[in-house]
A and B are shown apart, each in its own frame.
Chain A
Amino acid sequence: MANEEEVLINIDDVSKWYGEVQALDRISLEIHREDVSVICGPSGCGKSTLLRCINGLEEFQQGDVIVDGVSVKEVQNTKKIYKLRSKIGMVFQHFELYPHLTALENITLAPRKVFNMSKKEAREKGMELLKRVGIPEQAEKKPGELSGGQQQRVGIARAIAMDPQTIMFDEPTSALDPEMIRDVLEVMADLAEGGLTMIVVTHEMGFAKEVADEIVFMEDGQVVEHEGVETFFKNPESERAKEFVDRVLVHIK
């Protein structure tokens, strides 16, 4: 159900080099509000790099990314980048929870420091979010005491806590044992249903088929294909995409 009118993120001809090596090659994409966009492709094709360019964690040399009207290139090295980042949530492959803080503290840190929320208010909100992702009883535990699936759900709660306009997921289930993948995907599907704009880098094509609105297929730093989910799976254009879909569909059945 792509909402054609509202473009939230406009990635305009972005290219990035690490020294001599080109990581992103003239990427142009539009992410629409309430859409779930899945980015997939072989390892090293630049998917994670692209995500980090969107919220300014990495710098890019050419092109620009406009998020809700704000140019990332412009605000990159200014204080305004902090505000931009608070509007974009991010969930990481290796969870990246702060190990010295409890699950609840992980979630409440940014709202308290960036929004100046009171400790009480933040805790209430944090507990609500923990309930939403299904693990309120883990609130006072430290990440080292949690399973991978639990940690990732805390990571998702931490991202939601800032009420972002979109959340980017960087291979959120790649580091999880199979039993836990389903729990996390369920939380994500839930969020999608609630209308959250999501950008998901993943290999979980089953999830893509069920939940995504559009698929972006990348290879060697380029966008090779970009179309609606149904079209992609039924009738991919490029050879590479066809290969990829065939291989993946065998797995899903």
Chain B
Amino acid sequence: MGYQFDWGVIVREPYWHWLLNGFFKTLILGSISWGIALFLGVIIGTIRTLPIKTARAIGKIYVEFFRNIPLLVQLFFWYYVIPPMVGQWFNRMQNLPWIMAIFGLGVYTASRVAEHIRSGLNSVPRGQRHAGLSTGLSNFQLYRHIIIPYGFRLMIPPITTEFLTVFKNSALAMTIGVLELSGQSYKIGTWTFHSFESITAAVIGYLIIGLSVIGFMGWVEERLKIPGLLGGE
């Protein structure tokens, strides 16, 4: 039983268009979720370093909760369990899978970013705190102008990895009906019975995204670099 490869499948319409569509959906899905993750992650990571016990506890519960449940299960929760509870009007919304995918991926990734931020903030030398406070800065100002910028830069390598991961994790959105890159490649497979080719095309798509992220973060690291400390002279 020989398998006939048909690589033309990928470049033919409408399949090529579907792939492209999926590719851009992945880009957008990943980027918006990443934005949410960064924003939430910095907040949660920061409160985990505050001297207030309840704040730290809330942060820890958030992280442990989202870290120890598979992303797939979380997405199911956001898509199947929560919307009916919010209301039927919400459940019937047109873009529900898309919205819940972005949201679910965002809050999940935030828990991972939070851990890196926490580690970074804790690595900022105590002397920096003393110096900032000694000039009369308030705790909030200290964090905003000194601790967070410094801590964040320390953590650029692991955060780059998380940025990569968010695009890979976006593939799971297909399980709740989002036709991003992997979803489209699967769909093409069911239409043409040439799944292998379409999946290969998708894999190449992810490689392109991965390389771009690495390139982009390299540029970011260059702009944010601290001479004498991280990668400077």
Residue positions of A touching B, CB distance < 8 A: 52, 55, 57, 79, 82-83, 85-90, 92, 94, 96-100, 109-110, 113-114, 142-145, 155, 158-159, 161-162
Asked if B136 and A57 make an inter-chain contact with CB atoms under 8 angstroms apart, the answer reads no
- Given contact pairs A98-B150, A99-B228, A100-B149, A57 touches B130 in the complex (Cβ within 8 A): yes
CA distance A159 to B128 in the complex (A): 14
- Assess the A96–B130 pair: CB atoms within 8 A: yes
Tell me if B137 and A82 are in contact (CB < 8 A). Answer: yes
Question: What are some 17 contacts across the A-B interface (CB < 8 A)?
Answer: A52-B130, A55-B133, A57-B134, A82-B138, A85-B135, A86-B136, A89-B134, A144-B227, A144-B228, A144-B229, A144-B233, A145-B227, A145-B228, A145-B232, A158-B131, A161-B135, A162-B136
Hey, which chain B residues are within 8 Å of A52, CB to CB? 130
Question: Which A residues are in CB contact (< 8 Å) with B150?
Answer: 98-100
Instruction: Type the 1/0 row for B140-175, where 1 means its CB is closer than 8 Å to any CB of A.
Output: 010001100110010000000000000000000000
Q: Is the CB of A113 within 8 A of B145?
A: yes
| A96 contacts B136, C-beta separation under 8 Å | no
CA distance A55 to B229 in the complex (A): 29
CB neighbours of B233 from chain A (8 A): 144-145
Residues of chain B at interface, number, CB under 8 A: 25
Q: Which residues of B approach A to under 8 Å, CB–CB?
A: 125, 127-128, 130-138, 141, 145-146, 149-150, 153, 224, 226-229, 232-233
A89 shortest CB reach to chain B, Å = 7
Known: A99-B150, A144-B226, A144-B228. A92 touches B131 (CB 8 A): yes
B145 near A85 (CB under 8 angstroms)? no
Given contacts A82-B138, A85-B136, A96-B127, 19 further A-B contacts (CB under 8 A): A57-B134, A82-B137, A83-B136, A85-B133, A92-B130, A96-B130, A96-B131, A98-B128, A98-B131, A99-B228, A100-B149, A100-B150, A100-B226, A113-B137, A114-B138, A142-B228, A145-B227, A158-B131, A162-B136
Q: Give the residues in chain B near A158, CB-CB below 8 Å.
A: 131, 135
Quote the shortest CB–CB distance from A88 to chain B (angstroms).
7
A161 to B232, CA, bound (A): 28
Find out whether the CB atom of B146 lies under 8 angstroms from the CB atom of A98: yes
Q: Cβ of A57 and Cβ of B133 under 8 Å apart?
A: yes
Give the residues in chain A near B132, CB-CB below 8 Å: 98
- Given contacts A142-B227, A144-B233, whether A159 and B130 have CB atoms under 8 Å apart is no
Verify A142–B226 contact, CB threshold 8 A. Answer: yes
Q: Are A55 and B134 in contact (CB under 8 A)?
A: yes
Q: What 8 A-B pairs have minimum CB-CB distances, sorted nearest first? A: A144-B228, A86-B136, A144-B227, A110-B135, A96-B131, A90-B134, A96-B127, A85-B136
Bound-state CA distance A82–B229 (Å) is 29
Give chain A nearest CB distance to B12 CB in angstroms.
52
Q: Which residue of B lies closest to A88 (CB)?
A: B134
Tell me the bound Cα distance from A89 to B229 in angstroms. 26
Instruction: Determine the residue in chain A with the shortest Cβ distance to B149.
Output: A100
Q: A113-B137, A114-B135, A162-B135 are in contact. Are A92 and B229 (CB under 8 A)?
A: no
In the bound complex, CA of A96 to CA of B150 (Å): 12
B153 contacts which chain A residues (CB < 8 A)?
100
